[in-house]
Amino acid sequence: MFITYLRRELAGRRKQTAVVAIGMALAIALVIIVNAVSSGVQSAQAKVLESVYGVGTDITVNQTPTTPTDAAAGTGGPQRFDFGAADGATSDGTTSVSQSRLRAGRGTATFDAAALKTVSDIDNVSAAAATLSLENTTFNGQLPNRAQTPQGSAAPGADGTTPPEGGPDGAGGSSFNVDSFSVLGIDPATDAVGPLSAVALTDGRTLTAADAGTDVAVLDAAYATTASVALGDTIQIAGTGVTVVGLVSAATADAATASNVYIPLDVAQTLSGLTGQVSDIYVQAASSTDIDQVQSAIEKALPDATVKTQADLASSVSGSLSTAADLASNLGRWLSLIVLAAAFLIAILFTISGVTRRTRELGTLKAIGWSNGRIVRQVAGESLVQGLIGGVAGIAIGLVGILVVNLVSPTLTATATGLAAGAPGRGAGGGAVTAGTGGGFGLGQAAQAAATTDVALTAPVTVPVILIAVGLAIFGGLLAGAIGGWRASRLRPAEALRSVA
């Protein structure tokens, strides 16, 4: 009886059924497409972040740097290069001086490496690795032989005095170069998490556990080309010769690696004088559902640390990918909610309107013995079927929309912040030289460079999204049916008799 009556009512009210189903279908299709695009954007952001923070890295731990008070203490502030009177080698009236420093990069704070064990001991942490971010800065200068000027006399060239001969320009001038590249100390025994896991080996080999304590390095292939360094060559880091054993490049096109040079962590600590110090800890959670719990536990165990997840780091991604993310997360979702609410409202209004037009019919059914519960079930069943029809149509439309997005596969541009080497500098002058902010040169320090990547957007189809769509269709139908059924249950048989009369 229920099925027969249901089929007859739906067939007799095709316009109402079509309007309710279409409204529900468009709303559900929009929800499916927006959720799929949002998932695609998140996946694209993760690909971009891999080139900076490492594959499998769920959480990063570091500390906010404080204002440096001692430029020579390795705090990441401006550097000074001071030379004594006896420093350098003099030839033909020119004194050549050179000095190399390895210290924490600008904007980088170091902390006790014991924090790594603290993090590793936290529940649901499957892997953790520490790194030490450094900057190697070398000053090479040629100065005139100042010893030719008697102590206490006027400056060379003042009051008619003759400036000392010699120097690069033969007239007492000077020149210098400030060259810099980023260095990252990593634990060679840990390759499942961290920046080095996000690169592809192009030549030679990567670092292994046997490299601990040895002066070997892996170079970014692009930097090696720029610096004219080949596999097997020796580069100078803090005045120590280090052998190049491998070359790596970013795993994705147009991305940038996290550093110019990678060396064993213990070697980096020794050469920089930062024994027992690290700058970052990369953490992998046992599962995605454990990330929030692990983050909270780390923040509690290390109250002075800055703990960020992939979702937090995604805010550093800019470009059209960021615009797409904002559109999907804000405008798209709000639009979906508004359209969904409108579809539910249309279903409710049409159901109530249908109940009003069926006063005589429903009143007569009550007069012949139908209970209020049966009336409610009948009206709710009709609305539920209308919602399900709209849900099926909405899923079909949504899948077609996702297919169109994947066929078009729009290319988005993403820019992620990462370390890049400072450009070599050249200037004139002599004496104490400050590299970085405050020294007037701004050269040779780690810079927050923009690594630009082109990412093809794909919208994945996931079972949870389909289940959500089905759930929304059922909920919308039941909501409209419950309100309409409640309205129908309040009708009295006497109203049907008055309508007949």
Nearest-5° angle of CA 48, CA 51, CA 56? 90
Q: Is the pLDDT higher at 277 or at 329?
A: 277
Query: Are residue 275 and residue 348 in the same domain, yes or no?
Result: no
Nearest-5° angle of CA 479, CA 480, CA 482? 65
Residue 227 lies in a domain: yes
| pLDDT band at residue 174 using 50, 70 and 90 as cut-offs | low
* 85-107 tens-digit pLDDT: 666 666 666 777 777 888 887 77
Query: Are residue 431 and residue 379 in the same domain, yes or no?
Result: no
Strand 277-278 relative to strand 111-112, pairing: antiparallel
Query: Are residue 141 and residue 241 in the same domain, yes or no?
Result: yes
| pLDDT band at residue 27 using 50, 70 and 90 as cut-offs | confident
Query: Are residue 190 and residue 326 in the same domain, yes or no?
Result: no
Query: Are residue 129 and residue 37 in the same domain, yes or no?
Result: no
Query: Are residue 256 and residue 388 in the same domain, yes or no?
Result: no
Query: Are residue 294 and residue 198 in the same domain, yes or no?
Result: yes
CA R_g for the chain:
35
Structure tokens at 163: 């400036």
Query: Are residue 218 and residue 112 in the same domain, yes or no?
Result: yes
Residue count (the chain)? 501
- Using a 10 angstrom Cβ sphere, with 0-12 exposed, 13-18 middle and 19 or more buried, the burial of residue 285 is buried
Give the mean pLDDT of 18-45.
80
The number of folded domains in the chain is: 2
Residue 171 lies in a domain: yes
Domain range holding 377? 2-44+322-410+459-500
Contact 130, 100 (CB under 8 A): no
Q: Is the pLDDT higher at 251 or at 496?
A: 251
Residue 439 has pLDDT above 50, yes or no: no
Residue 103 lies in a domain: yes
Q: Minimum mean pLDDT among 155-159, 175-179, 204-208, 460-464: which range?
A: 155-159
pTM above threshold 0.85: no
Query: Are residue 267 and residue 352 in the same domain, yes or no?
Result: no
Residue 415 has pLDDT above 70, yes or no: no
Query: Are residue 13 and residue 130 in the same domain, yes or no?
Result: no
Query: Are residue 442 and residue 464 in the same domain, yes or no?
Result: no
* 294-304 tens-digit pLDDT: 999 999 999 98
What is the C-alpha separation between 183 and 225, in angstroms, rounded? 16
Please give the helix or strand (H or E) that residue 243 lies within, else none: strand 240-250
